[in-house]
Structure 1
Amino acid sequence: MTDLDTNYPESYYAASANRVQDYPQLSEDIDCDVCIIGAGYTGLSTALHLLERGVSVVILEQAKVGWGASGRNGGQIVNSYSRDIDVVERAAGTQVADQLGVMAFEGGRVIREFVERYSIQCDLKNGGVFAALNAKQMKELEHQKALWERYGYDKLELLDAKTMTGVVASNRYVGGMLDHGGGHIHPLNLALGEADAVTRMGGHIFEHSGVIAISRDEQPVAVTKRGSVRAKKLVIAGNAYLGGLVPELKAKSMPCGTQVIATEPLSDDLAKALIPQDYCIEDCNYLLDYYRLSADKRLLYGGGVVYGARDPKDIERLVRPKMLKTFPQLEAIRIEYRWTGNFLMTLSRLPQVGHINENILYSQGCSGHGVTYTHLAGRLLSERILGDSKRFEAFASLTHYPFPGGHMFQVPFSAVGAWYYSMRDRLGI
């Protein structure tokens, strides 16, 4: 692990967080049933599912709970995966696609179960919209609706151009699709609430306890600067902030940065005019824009990708023009927060799941689609640990390849690919 700033970034989420609990730093050698590296959604979901079954759990976090992508993302509950089920079918066959298809809508349900069961205050709102910028994208939404309905999902509603103007006050869209099972949350408060539930259930969380080495013995050991945890099972859930701790995982993934801005609070009338039903929205471009209203009526707007996870110097300069293209009526509105965060991308843009050996498991590489998938992943990891590996192995069967040219060329390779697909988006082809 490299040295890093372990304070929360100066984001709207950090500024509006519920009570932030300070968890201790690991300072001794301890034992448990399952040790989890990473106190983001994957680690927290895994811990809660295991604790509900009476398994003892320790989570080691190099910074703070929800410090990484789990506390910085757009806060949108979006179903399925970064590559949809038809892509899985072409790549892995019908049997695997059918298994993943049935699970594609489960992560959002897990979030809602946690929110209700543990009384988590995270501003949960229902409803998410996919917005089409051209006729080609609208056709793709029609295909997506039919595809999801094949797997029993019946919460989708196509929207024509006129209906879209009643959903979002922008003239950019030719139509869209409303997912009544989508929605949005305050992502850091969700993570903080899940962490509080972990400790109330008897789990242990150690912050500022980055893992510097892993022993791959029959009983794996996670070593920190001041202590260690020996466990029967070890779960690696560091995602984009894992660094080089596990070299074989680093070779097939790449951290990428995304940027978000938050406006000053809008008037009730303006907020209601922009997004009357308080849905979250994302467009259908390859490098998509996404936005929603916060609980205190700020517009949170994100977009773009920085390959290689470099922090851009001027986030507002990158994102504000995108916001004004969608909502020119916000020209006079100030931006009060701007931040960036990293997500982990795989070449296939499908999650990377598996085991280093029988007792060391991992899940990573949500590829920008992590809020729901990570909560599903926690359930799958817990099932595998408890002896039911069928659903876990469906994801583990997906083939992952290194980026062409290795780490030296993965950033320019991905940037060229993104440029190609962005040009197709602009041309509507």
Structure 2
Amino acid sequence: MTGHSEEDTSQSMKGCRGEKRVSFPPDEEMVFDFVEIKTALQEADCLTLTDIILAYKQNCEKHHVNPSPKALDQLKVQWSERLDYCSCESLEEILKSVQFDFISLQGAELEENGASSLLDMFLYYESATHLDVSSNSGMGFSGWLSLSHLLRQSGCLWRLDACNMPMVDYAAQALSKALLTSRLTVLHLENTCLSGKPLFTLVGALKRNAALQELYISDNNLNGYQDSMQLGDLLKYNSTLRTLDLSNNTISDTGLEEICDALSIQKAGLRMLILSNNHITHHGLIHLHNVLPCLKTLETLNLGNNNLENRGIHTLKESLMINHSLLQLGLASTGITCEGAVTLAEILAENLQIQCLDVRHNQVLAGGLMALSLALKINHSLIRLDLDQNLKEKEEFLIETQKMLLSRISDLCIVNAVAAKGTALQPAPPSPPNCSETTSQPHPNS
């Protein structure tokens, strides 16, 4: 037994009380192995389809699942069959080898763990630019959390479809949190029970969003009171939204007032507003009449499948004559007769901007067609006039007149279209010397 001096013992005790020494090996010896994902992705560029399918099948064996027939179908990633957790995990071999423009998981019956795992992989491998997770009500909290991470961090995802499933509280919160910083430009949330608190949560985020350009929220039973107030706030404070689809809701005349009030104070305006099938009547169009003359950016307005009647068209007459931004107007199934068609003809004689007009599924007979054909002799902007082609007149000479007028209207629209195309192909004339230098630029996605 070797003895220790008192000094040695003192030094030993001193070291135990906290004086520790740490040393590092040379730099070249510190790291003994690493994995670089970009190298794997570069190597994946050389893989053939057979290589990818083989790797996928081997990964399926590893996870004890059968290969997905849909995945093997030329690797078109559109799964409509059930994907459980192991099935989702086995898809990694495909996702790390190929990047897709569009991945559809619609109706894949994703459960929480599988959805979370798969969405995490989508983020890691930057798998798609357009993702559809519609009809997957079983995604659960973890699935929506992973989707939120994907939306916030992805550098390539620009469109998300999440339709046909209830927007429960945690889903609305996860999506809204992501939308604060997401680069998404297109969002589809049709038939997701948005009315009420979910819409409130969503709008709270979208008011600060600086990327989204198209929002589709049809079939959500949005009402003309609280919901329309939220939509009004969205239009007042969001400066990037260009398309808003509100079709198949119950906005009604009251809600239209809220929307029109918001449009009147927009700094950067909406370009497309779809209000078809929203229980709007001619009474509500007075609000639209008041705002249309001051709108500078609205190009498409769809009021189809609302009971506007001839009185509604008459209400909009003067404002449509003054408006210089509207290019497309949808009035299908709005209760218009020949009287309303005559009013539309008067509008077309004055408004030389409108290019497309839809008046299908109305009672427009020979008299209304005559007025429209006469207006087209003056109007050279209209290149498409959608009319019912079935012959509604009963007397023989009126049937022949209707055929002739439909043909004439079609020919006049073709002449306008050819002239418009020729004008577009010609070089733009130089700006006059006093032209303002602050000419507004078109949006890159227009």
TM-score (norm 1): 0.20
RCO (CA 8 Å, sep 6+): is it higher in 1 or 2? 1
Larger Rg: 2
Question: Relative to total residues, which structure has the larger helix share, 1 or 2?
Answer: 2
Question: Relative to total residues, which structure has the larger strand share, 1 or 2?
Answer: 1
TM-score (norm 2): 0.20
